[in-house]
Structure 1
Amino acid sequence: MAPVVHGLEQQYENRVDFVFLDTSDPQTTAARQRLGFKSTPHFFFLLKNGSIVTDFQGVVPRDSLVRSLDRLLERGELTLME
């Protein structure tokens, strides 16, 4: 999934912030618990205030991620972090 996600990161540059958590790093434990992280990979789409809009667990087709990102951007639900 990494090549797909990194490709999306480039495609949505300046429109969506991508944040990656290292699940083996103990410093990410609090963030993973807050998000309800359950499996690898696990994708969360968050509003600027940190609320989860949607999430995907496991291997997800690229088209599903693109549709969700486009829909959220169209609705103005995703904004860049400052």
Structure 2
Amino acid sequence: MTTCVFVQLRCAPGKTYKVAEAIYEREITSELYSTSGDFDLLMKIYIPEGEDVGMFLNDKILDIPDISRSLTTLTFKTF
């Protein structure tokens, strides 16, 4: 069973589209949105079973240049 997480990203000014393109090229998100408010991007990711969520995000997402902050929300149950 995979773990579904939502990750919000704050990008350096003027770099949101560049960050979004880098994420898209990695083919690891289920959905990726631009958003208003405190964060610039919102993505839905399914973490493979047995993977450490923090390590997965660090290795696959948070090494992309121009990401200045992230907020990860873990999910528990689908209704």
Do they superpose with TM above 0.5?
no
* TM score, norm. by length of structure 1: 0.29
Q: Which has the higher helix share?
A: 1
Q: Which has the higher strand share?
A: 2
